Each structure stands twice: as structure tokens, then as C-alpha cells.
Amino acid sequence: MEKATKKEFRLENLSCANCAMKFENNIKSLPNVDAAIVNFGASKVAVIGNVTVQDIEKAGAFDGIKVAPIKQRKEEKTAFFKRKENVVTAISFVFLVIGIIASFMYEETHPLAIGLFVIAIVVGGYDMFKSGLLNLSRFYFDMKTLMTIAIIGAAIIGEWREGAVVVFLFAVSEALEAYSMNKARQSISQLMDIAPPSATVRRGDHLVEVDTEFIQINDVLIVKPGQKIAMDGIVLKGASSVNQASITGEAVPAYKTTGDEVFAGTLNEEGSLEVKVTKRVEDTTIAKIIHLVEEAQAEKAPSQKFVDKFAKYYTPVIIAIAFLVAIVPPLFGGDWQTWIYQGLAVLVVGCPCALVVSTPVAIVTAIGNAAKQGVLIKGGIHLEEIGRIRAIAFDKTGTLTKGYPEVTVVESEHPNDFIQKVMSIEAYSQHPLAQAIVKYGKAEHIHALDVDDFQSITGKGAEGTVQGKKWSVGSVAWILSIITVPTKVIERTEQLQSEGNTVMLAAEDGQYKGFIAVADPIRTTSTKVLEQLKVAGIKHTVMLTGDDTRTANAIAAKLGMSDVEAGLMPEQKLTAIKALKEKYGAVAMVGDGVNDAPALAAASVGIAMGGAGTDAALETADVALMADDLEKLPYTIRLSRKALHIIKENIMFALGLKIIALLLIIPGWLTLWIAIFADMGATLLVVLNSLRLLKVHK
């Protein structure tokens, strides 16, 4: 027997959350299918089993759902006014208008008026009736079933005009909901279109155009100015500014030269580049982002789980209320036609569409918007949790600071000559502090000299002969043990060390020549971000670092942070996070996603820095800031709080409008067209309200 495999497919025309649930159940009932999950937000389906595209399309035939393999490039979308359902709606509207004119010219019961209304109902509602009657035969009560019962009932009691108006409004509601959901999904579809489908590859002495799925690791791409880079890779040759906004959300282009990493979907702006491919098309950073965003939209948030559970009981209750409204009053002397009409109106009001779509459309919009801004939120549950955060713990190195050492102070009688001699020695060392000095010298356009008899002294420093003189460069303690250093210099080095600097002294033939201070500099944005977080309502910020207490306190003082815990091992960071959770409730941890993994996992929300360059950050954290940029943190919190607020508003709109409409039964004012307006109005209101999340920017 052939082993069942997992296959993924893209879907078109999936606009209704109820339809998505029905579609999923239909696929599960197919022979040879073990499991199926429909991702409404990303408009795709994963199936475990032996099925074809045709099998899945049959399962979605009730709603005209189109299916395509996951790797297939999207075809051109049909214009809104050319879509079959919209054309049908327009034709139905024409017959409705002529029917209304005829009913005023003659009367509503005139055969001509009734005939026109019947044509409007049949043309506009044919697909709905087909699905509704099939559902009814299976006792499956969704929106189309309720609408079908209501229209048939209206026809039986002679309310032809009302029936035609309801069919038209329902068709308009469906068309607008589909348009709005496509708008909400736009962020993902834009991400999918970022990377080009093919690239120019050097094969021997020839340049050939190759589809990205056939490009291999170690192939060399030729990327001309103005072209998009098709694959992740390393620059072999050339230099250029590359716009990485599609990956990191940063609009300022990054300068790339030999040895630098580049990402698929980024735009080469100026020079020509040769790029060695390092990842297959399915493993590129943009492919991972798309996958994680789509999976994030499939994961239900707590509020969505509540709404789904509520909707499950809500529809049967509405049907029961409609039945009682239609039957009970006439038994006590009421008019049968009037109360059956009221019962039908209750059925229309009771469509759960607005309620079911209230949460997923907000989550789809928010997560898609965040991805465009370079923030990867890995699920609705995390999106909601970010909005509840009251305390944030920061790792120091690479989060509040740049994560690499830079020269901060050079003190010598002849600074340029001093730096030249010291960098000549340090050029032979791989130590990060030595590399910081070499980098500083190059930035000052100073060239290293030849060195003889180089010797690295582990934990202390290095020695070598430069231009016939022996130079020693190293820690304060080591240099003090071999030469005499002026008291003023010792006092100055102690002050710099208390401010978080690492100081290195240098001597020439046993004579003190000067010192260099090196530090991991604070990010220019850190202070501003901490201030923005206070404004956003974060009650407490704390630095958790493995660095020594003196350095940590110096950095914290510059940042204005009052709470610092230094010298922590990974397990101690974990304990600190647990203590913060007990005190403040929801706590976020911001780190680099590698050595902070236990603390990131223990926090209510783990936020990783620089997700674009590290697979570990993408995998371990709940949220990844794709650019190495803390400034996206306040934006993420604002977006989450806005999303929470909008979800609550949506649930209130969805239920509130229906309750108001149901209360109109008491004075007998509820009509079918008011009922459909209440349902359509609630659905459009929650969708349009959710689209406000697209306007939240950094």
C-alpha cells in the first residue's frame, strides 16, 4: 500500500470562515485522507493522504474554491467587476430594480412583478440555493442553509420583493467580504511575490536564465543593478547598496561587499554582484518568513478559540429561537403569516458569519502587517500576549549594545604612530579586542607594519618586534607586572573600566607608550526605545546579563535603567524571568535567540534580535525582530494592543448589531431586509475595522 504523504495546496475564493470549516470537513471525509487542516488566514490547505487537486476541488465545489499546488506561481487575479459572482449580482440587481418599478406601476402581487422578482432571486441566489438545499438534506446549518430557508419561506408567504432584496444584499455582502479578506491577506501575497521566479546563473563560460527551484547550492548568480537577488548567498565579487526592506523592514539600504551575506527578494541598487548560493529556494530566509507567517495565522488565538466554541452553540440556539418566534405567538392568537415572517427574519439575523470572522481577520491583518515591517510574530496567541506585557527583560550584549567591541579612547603622545605599532601587533591575533583595534586603524587609514617574533600570551596580551623595537600590548594587570606606569594613567584606566571599558596598555622596549580603551558600545536607539516603552505602559525594564557587575551597572546608568542583574548563567536568567512573572504577570525576554534560549522559552513572549541572519532566532523565539533593530519593539507592542482592542470591538459589533435586530421582534419591526442589513453590516464592520491594523506603522 502506498504511504500517505503530506501535501500543501493554495486556495482561491476562500472568503468565509464557516466555508473554511465545512471545506476542511469535506476533505477529511474523502477516501485515502488521514488528516486535513485548512488555514483560512493564509488561504491554503495541508492534506495527509493520497489526493489530487481535482479531489480537493470537488470537496470545495459548494463554494467554487479553486486549488493549486503550493509551488505554482499565482495566476493573474480576475478583476473585481469580472468575477462571475459579481456579474451575477449585477444582473440580479437589474431585475430587482425593474421588479420594484413594476410593483409600483401595478402592484406587488402582479404576475409581471412577481416574475421579475423570481428571476432576480434565481439568478442571484442559484449557487446559494444549491449549497443550502444540499446542506439542509444533511442537516448542516451554515449561513447558506439559513438563508435558503428564509428565502423559500418568504416565497411561500408571498414576500417576493423581500426575498429578492435579501438575495441581492446577501450577494453584495459575500462579494465585499471576499474583497476585504483578499485585502487582509495582501501582506502575505506581497511577501510571496518578493523573490523573482528565475535568475541569471554562470554555468562554465555561459550565463543562463534558470528557474529558482533548479538553482543549486554553490551556483553563482549574476545580479545586475536594479535586479532582485533570487537566492540567499554570499557576495563573491562586487560591491553595492542592497535594499533589504522586504526582509528586515529597514528602508535604508545596506552596503554589501565580498564576503557579506545577502537575502533572496532584496533589491540590488547600484553595482553588479556575483553571489554564491548558500541555500536552496525552500530554505531561503524569505521562504522561512512566508512559512512562519502562514503557520502563525493558522494557530488560533485564545479569543478565536472562545469565538469558535461560542459559534458552535450559537447557531442551534438561533434556529430554536426562530422556530419559537414563528410558532408560539400564533398559538396564542397571533397572525401566522406575520410571525412566520418574523421567524424567517430571525434566521437571517442569526447567521454567525460576522462572529466567526471577527477574530481571524484581525489576526491575519496584524501578523501580515508586522511581517512587512520586519517583525515575525509566530502565532495569534503570541500576538495577544504581547499586548498584555507589563515587564521586559533585556539581554545586554547584542541587544542593548551592538554586540561587538569598538575602540572608545586612544591616549598617547603620538596617537597615529602609537595605533600603527599596536595594530601591527594585534593584526596577528584573532581576539575580538585585537580585531577592534585593527578595524579602528583601518578606518583611520593607518596601515600595519611588518612584525617579527610575534608571540601571543594567553589571557594577558601579545608581543612582537616592530621596526627593531619590542612592543608589548595587553591587560592592565600584565603590563603593570612588567613595567612601571604613571599613577595618573592607572587612575584614568580605573575610571574607564568603571564605565564599562576594557583597557589595554602598551609598552615599547619596557617604556610605557599609551593605552587603548575598547567597549561594546550602546546602540544609539536603546535609550529612545526604553523611553518609548515607558510611554507604551511597560511598568518595568530590567537588564539580565552574564557580564561583570561593574560593566553592566555602567551601561545601565547610561541607559537610565535602575534594575540590573549581572554575572548570570543561563539557568540564573531563567530563575530571574520566573521571579518577574510572579511579580508582574506577563513578561517578555529580549535576547539573541541562541544563548538566551532557556530565558526566551520561560518568558510569556520570547523576542529574538536579528532574525534575518540567524536560523536559531527564527526557530526559538515567539517573535523575531528581523533587522538587528530594537526600534521595532515599541511598534510591536502598539500593534498587539491595537489588535486586542479591535478583536474586542469586533465581537461587540458582531453580537451587538444582532441583539439590536432581535429586539426589533418585540414591536414587530424586524423585516427580512433589516435582518440581512444587520448581518451584512456586522460582517463588513468587523472586516473593515480589522483593516485599520494595516495603518499601524513604526
Q: Are 43 and 12 in contact (CB under 8 A)?
A: yes
Helix axes 160-184, 143-156, angle to 10 degrees: 160
Given the DSSP bridges, would you call strands 540-544 and 220-223 parallel, antiparallel or unpaired? unpaired
Distances in Å between the Cα of 109 and the Cα atoms of 104, 105, 114, 117, 119 are: 11, 11, 6, 11, 15
Strand order in the sheet with 254-256: 254-256, 240-243, 267-268
E-strand stretches of 527-633: 540-544, 563-565, 587-591, 605-609, 623-625
**CA distance between the termini of the chain:** 54
The C-alpha atoms of residue 521 and residue 514 are separated, in whole angstroms, by 22
Query: Which residues, in sequence order, are bridge partners of residue 69?
Result: 9
Alpha-carbon torsion angle 414, 419, 422, 425, nearest 10: -130
Helix spans in 499-548 (H): 526-535
Identity at 265, one-letter amino acid code: G
Given the DSSP bridges, would you call strands 540-544 and 391-395 parallel, antiparallel or unpaired? parallel
Identity at 370, one-letter amino acid code: A
| Chain Cα centroid distance, residue 611 | 12
The C-alpha atoms of residue 224 and residue 578 are separated, in whole angstroms, by 52
| Closest by Cα among 298, 297, 310 to 355 | 310
The C-alpha atoms of residue 688 and residue 684 are separated, in whole angstroms, by 6
Distances in Å between the Cα of 124 and the Cα atoms of 120, 344, 363 are: 6, 19, 32
Of 142, 395, 596, 628, the active-site residue reads: 395
Q: Which residue has the cell 435558503?
A: 148
Q: Is residue 395 among the annotated active site residues? A: yes
Q: Helix and strand tally (H, E) in the chain? A: 25, 26
Query: Which residues, in sequence order, are bridge partners of residue 45?
Result: 9, 38
| Chain Cα centroid distance, residue 542 | 26
Helix spans in 427-567 (H): 432-443, 476-482, 487-498, 526-535, 549-559
Residue 662 carries which DSSP code? H
276 three-state secondary structure:
strand
Instruction: Give the list of residues 6+ apart from residue 252 with CB closer than 8 angstroms, or none.
Output: none
141 three-state secondary structure:
coil
The C-alpha atoms of residue 284 and residue 229 are separated, in whole angstroms, by 11
What residues are labeled active site? 395
